[in-house]
């Protein structure tokens, strides 16, 4: 699976959009980009995933560059409850589907 | 809808004692199952995964073992716990087709 690079930490003001970048320059054509988050003392929570096109759901938007070498997770109106570690993972769908979590980005939403 | 149950929520065990953590999934069949561990202040480490009954793959050599006696049951065990086995243990499942994982609430294990 392709390696991902994320900033260690980011701050965001409450009510503003949080833009979390992820670099995956070695991504293969059949690898998806998945985003998860882990709130303190809880299990990770799936947020969104995509292959080529931008995706949006009730939680967030995922913007994937045309060359697919990087992506951005957008939380449109961050709240204090969005404070968490956000993980970007690239993965080929397959029989195992095992997810290897890196260090992620600690997003701190400030009041 | 699918749910995942993991218990107990917290556990304090002495060094050298055995361990058995159980995870069950409801509402789906033939899932892939996973055990992760998170040491204090550290990242998530994949310990074991299973694609079917009796099929276990180990990611990291350690003092732990896993078993899958039934399709939707995944058990993490140890014969003799070490202090370094302390951590937050999480069970998860995915379908065969996509890497969208659903996690249990976790077990916080403290070995004393």
Distance CA A109, CA B45 (A): 26
Alpha carbon of residue A50 to chain centroid: 10
- Chain A partners within 8 Å of B55 (Cβ): none
pLDDT tens digits, B18-44: 999 999 999 999 999 999 999 988 889
Question: Contact, A95 vs B51, CB < 8 A?
Answer: yes
Distance CA(B46)–CA(B72), nearest Å, equals 19
B102 in contact with A at a CB cutoff of 8 Å? yes
**B7–chain A Cβ distance below 8 A for any pair:** no
Q: What is the pLDDT of residue A1?
A: 65
pLDDT in tens, A8-54: 999 999 999 999 999 999 998 888 999 999 998 899 999 999 999 89
In this structure, chain A runs to a length of: 111
Query: What is the DSSP secondary-structure string of B56-70?
Result: EEESS-SS-EEEEEE
Tokens, residue B48:
């074991």
pLDDT at residue A61 tops 90? yes
**Across the A/B interface, how many CB contacts are shorter than 8 Å?**
69
Taking the Cβ of residue B98 and every Cβ of chain A, the question of whether any pair is shorter than 8 Å is answered with yes
What integer pLDDT is reported at residue A12 of this predicted model? 97
Of A41, A93, A104, the CB nearest to B97: A93
d(CA A71, CA A5): 11
Closest residue by Cα to residue B31 from A95, A27, A52: A95
Nearest to A98 among B34, B90, B98 (CB): B34
Choose the closest CB to B99 out of A38, A97, A104. A97
Strand partners, B45: B37
Cβ atoms of residues B71 and B30 within 8 Å:
yes
Element (H, E) at B103: strand B102-103
Cα distances (angstroms) measured from residue B56 to each of A47, B3, B61, B70: 28, 22, 13, 12
Predicted pLDDT at A93: 64
Per residue in B36-85, pLDDT (tens digit) is: 999 988 889 999 999 999 999 998 868 899 999 999 999 999 999 999 99
Chain A residues with CB inside 8 Å of B59's CB? 98
């Amino acid at each position: 699976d392709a390696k991902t690079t994320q900033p260690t930490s980011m701050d965001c003001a409450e009510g503003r959009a949080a833009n979390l970048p992820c670099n995956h320059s070695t991504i293969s054509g059949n690898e998806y980009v998945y985003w998860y988050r882990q709130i303190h003392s809880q299990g990770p929570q799936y947020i969104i995933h995509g292959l080529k096109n931008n995706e949006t759901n009730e939680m967030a938007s995922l913007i994937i560059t045309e060359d697919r070498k990087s992506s951005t997770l957008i939380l449109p109106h961050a709240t204090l409850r969005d404070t968490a570690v956000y993980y970007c993972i690239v993965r080929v769908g397959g029989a195992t589907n095992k997810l290897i979590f890196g260090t992620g980005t600690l997003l701190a939403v400030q009041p | 809808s699918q749910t995942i149950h993991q218990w107990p929520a917290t556990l304090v065990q002495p060094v050298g004692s055995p361990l058995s953590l159980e995870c069950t999934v409801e509402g789906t069949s033939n899932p892939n199952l996973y055990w992760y561990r998170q040491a204090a202040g550290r990242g998530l480490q994949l310990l074991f995964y299973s694609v079917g009954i009796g099929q276990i793959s180990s990611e990291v050599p350690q003092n732990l073992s896993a078993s899958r006696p039934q399709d939707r049951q995944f058990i993490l065990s140890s014969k003799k716990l070490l202090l370094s086995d302390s951590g937050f243990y999480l069970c998860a499942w995915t379908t065969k087709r996509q890497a969208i994982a659903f996690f249990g609430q976790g077990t916080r294990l403290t070995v004393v």
